[in-house]
Each structure stands twice: as structure tokens, then as C-alpha cells.
């Protein structure tokens, strides 16, 4: 396999060059080999690893969880209980964020629905923002 430059790695993994350097600095990508001209060189394993990282980030996994998942991926004979636990915790975090966002949407929808479109002095949006007790979740 012929070594590839950082630009080619960027293209193959669909990740920008500064992002590659960021992952190298965080230890998610191994320190690359260098040419005599001090240029970074990479291989197919780096492409696969970077795609793994990119996909995990797209799914919202945190850097430390990705680090652990990469470590686990390098030990295929280990039980997957730790990977499962990481994914389940991440799923619970996603569900929690969705619940909070749903509450926020309902609150803003109610404020907008109660706005009569008149003057600011009687604007329900301004009233609710000025008095937290007027929020839906505070009244229930």
C-alpha cells in the first residue's frame, strides 16, 4: 500500500484537514509517519479509523467515548458489554435532550399561540419571558 498525504486522507474520509490534526492532538489518530520532507503520511488503517471517528461524531458520541470504542474495536475478542453500555448511556442522553427540546417547543408554541399580534404592552411573548411563573411547565 502506498502512503497517502493528509489531503488524500481528508478526501477519502470526508473530514477536513484541521479536523484530522485535532484528532491527532487528542490521540484518537496515531501520530503519522513522516517523509524526509517532514510531511505526514497515512495508510488504509488511518482512513478506516478516521471514518469510524467521523461516523461516531455524526451520531453525537463524545471524544472520550469514541476513544474507548476505538480501543474496543482493536480488541475483537473482548465482550461488547462496554460498547453496549456506552451506546445505551448515549441513547439515554439523546432521549433526555429530546424530552427537553419537546418541552421547549411546547413552551414557545404556547407563547406564540397566545400572542394577539397587537402591541408590545400586551404581548404574551414578552409577558411570559418577563415572568418565569407564566411558563406552562411552571403552571402545572
User: What tens digit of pLDDT does each residue of 12-33 get?
Assistant: 999 999 999 999 999 999 988 8
Determine how many CB atoms are found less than 10 A away from the CB of residue 9: 22
Q: Which of 31, 48, 78 is the last residue of a domain?
A: 78
- 28 φ, ψ to 5°? -80, -30
- Do both 39 and 87 map to the same domain? no
Nearest Cα neighbor of 43 from 5, 13, 3 is 3
How far is Cα 71 from Cα 30, in angstroms, rounded to an integer? 12
Residue 138 pLDDT exceeds 70: no
pLDDT greater at residue 132 or residue 66 = 66
- Do both 86 and 74 map to the same domain? no
- Do both 31 and 93 map to the same domain? no
How far is Cα 55 from Cα 48, in angstroms, rounded to an integer? 11
In a domain, 1, yes or no: no
Helical residues (DSSP H) of 31-80, grouped into ranges: 44-58, 63-73
Report percent pLDDT > 90 for the chain.
Answer: 64
Which residues constitute the domain of residue 120?
82-139
- Do both 63 and 87 map to the same domain? no
* pTM of the shown model: 0.80
- Do both 48 and 95 map to the same domain? no
User: Could you tell me which residues come within 8 angstroms of residue 35 by beta carbon, excluding any fewer than 6 positions away?
Assistant: 3, 41
- Do both 25 and 50 map to the same domain? yes
Which pLDDT band holds residue 137 (cuts at 50, 70, 90)?
low
Which pLDDT band holds residue 130 (cuts at 50, 70, 90)?
confident
* CATH classification of the domain holding 53: 1.10.1660.10
Residue 1 pLDDT exceeds 80: no
How far is Cα 2 from Cα 65, in angstroms, rounded to an integer? 31
Q: Which of 29, 56, 78 is the last residue of a domain?
A: 78
Q: What are the pLDDT digits (tens) for 40-95?
A: 899 999 999 999 999 999 999 999 999 999 999 999 999 999 999 999 999 999 99
Count of domains for the chain: 2
Amino acid at each position: 500500500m502506498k502512503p497517502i498525504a493528509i489531503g488524500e486522507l481528508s478526501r477519502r474520509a470526508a473530514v477536513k484537514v484541521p479536523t484530522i490534526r485535532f484528532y491527532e492532538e487528542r490521540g484518537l489518530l496515531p501520530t503519522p509517519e513522516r517523509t524526509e520532507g517532514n510531511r505526514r503520511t497515512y495508510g488504509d488503517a488511518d482512513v478506516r479509523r478516521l471514518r469510524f471517528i467521523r461516523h461516531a461524531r455524526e451520531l453525537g458520541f463524545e471524544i472520550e467515548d469514541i476513544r474507548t470504542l476505538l480501543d474496543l474495536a482493536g480488541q475483537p475478542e473482548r465482550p461488547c458489554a462496554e460498547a453496549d453500555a456506552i451506546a445505551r448511556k448515549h441513547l439515554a442522553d439523546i432521549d433526555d435532550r429530546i424530552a427537553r427540546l419537546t418541552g421547549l417547543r411546547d413552551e414557545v408554541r404556547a407563547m406564540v399561540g397566545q400572542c394577539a399580534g397587537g402591541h408590545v404592552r400586551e404581548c404574551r411573548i414578552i409577558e411570559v419571558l418577563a415572568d418565569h411563573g407564566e411558563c406552562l411547565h411552571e403552571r402545572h
